[in-house]
Amino acid sequence: FGKIYISGQYKNGEPVGIWKYYSSDTLGVLVQQLDFDAHKELFVDPLRISQMICGPRYFGGNMLKNEFIAHHIETDFTPEEKSMYRGQSFNVLFTIDSVSLKPVGISVEDDKLPQAFADKLIATVAAMPAWLPAVCDKKNEVWRFSVKFVF
């Protein structure tokens, strides 16, 4: 407790400027630095790359990915939809395009959902910012991801 793991600022509910990510071990070493204004990774600790996911990474990490999804649930879905699906969760599957680093091949795991609702889930994932490139050399690897929408 009392340790800083992430430092950065928000403006109008969106991350802005330089964000710094520190190790969760007792050292608290800077492991990554991102510029949200320029959408660039400024620093990644080369000694920790082996501990990171090999494939593409969400810009800002899982916490900001979850915030992105939660924000879109709040703003893009009607009160009726949020009420109807309260307590339920839905997985949306996708791959990351190796050139644009954006989600492609997006599908909803539950094929019984009304198409209009499924289209909103898909649109949210399609609106994600570009991901960071893989940190390893697996040129022909296809990286399949999923995000969970919890209502």
pTM (2 d.p.) = 0.78
Residue 26 pLDDT: 62
Residue 49 pLDDT: 61
Residue 137 pLDDT: 65
Residue 139 pLDDT: 61
Residue 11 pLDDT: 92
Q: Which residues pair with 32 in a beta bridge?
A: 21, 44
- pLDDT tens digits, one per residue of 32-48: 888 988 888 888 887 76
- DSSP string over 73-132: HHHHS-HHHHHHTTT-EEEEEEEE-TTT-SEEEEEES-TTS-HHHHHHHHHHHHTSPPPB
Cα 119-12-44 angle, rounded to 5 deg = 85
Residues of the chain under the 50 pLDDT cut: none
